[in-house]
Amino acid sequence: MKRLLWVAYAVYLVVFAYLVWDPDPTVAPSAVYHVTDILNSIGIGVGPSMVEFGLNVLLFTPMSLIGSFIFPRLRVADWVLIGFVASFVVELVQKYFLPVRSADERDIVANTLGALIGAVLAWLLKWAQDRWLRSERSERLEAKGLVSRRPRPSASSTRDVSSTRDARPTGDASSTSEAPETA
């Protein structure tokens, strides 16, 4: 499974590099206008700037989504930082080394948002997988008779510790049933 993830990540990175560093200035705008036309034809009225923002979000989502499974020690915050830095580098390269491409600070925001979305999706998938595996393991152990599922006590059925403390004798004559000693 890990090998498949690495292959998918490598393919993603090649496509990513092509899309962000292709010196042909018509590739990105033609994709934006094509997607805008498709969305408008099915009744979703959006403009090119909104589509461009959305495509930039989608461009960075796989970076952290797939990457979170390859590099499991990285947290959501780490992926957001990686997304921001990678986006910043992309925009710097476009501005200073690809004069026919345009650098835009909105792209940094969209790309960082994409990295956040991918990392959160990965976290949710890992959480769901963990819950499923725990449940499955618990069912196997129960089937073998190694554990039994007891219903968890509800909040109303638990005893209040403070009420039991108040019921104990305090040691003075008024709180005990014995008669006081006489001298």
Residue 153: per-residue pLDDT = 64
Give the separation between CA 183 and CA 171, rounded to whole angstroms.
Answer: 18
What does the DSSP 8-state code read for residue 103? -
The pLDDT value recorded for residue 66 is 96
Q: Give the pLDDT score at 26.
A: 81
Cα dihedral 160, 165, 169, 175, rounded to 10, equals -70
pLDDT of residue 155: 62
Residues shown for the chain: 183
- Give the pLDDT of the chain (183 residues) as one tens digit per residue: 889 999 999 999 999 998 888 878 787 888 899 999 999 999 999 999 999 999 999 999 999 999 999 999 999 999 999 999 999 999 999 889 888 888 889 999 999 999 999 999 999 999 998 888 888 777 777 777 766 666 666 666 555 555 555 555 555 555 455 555 554
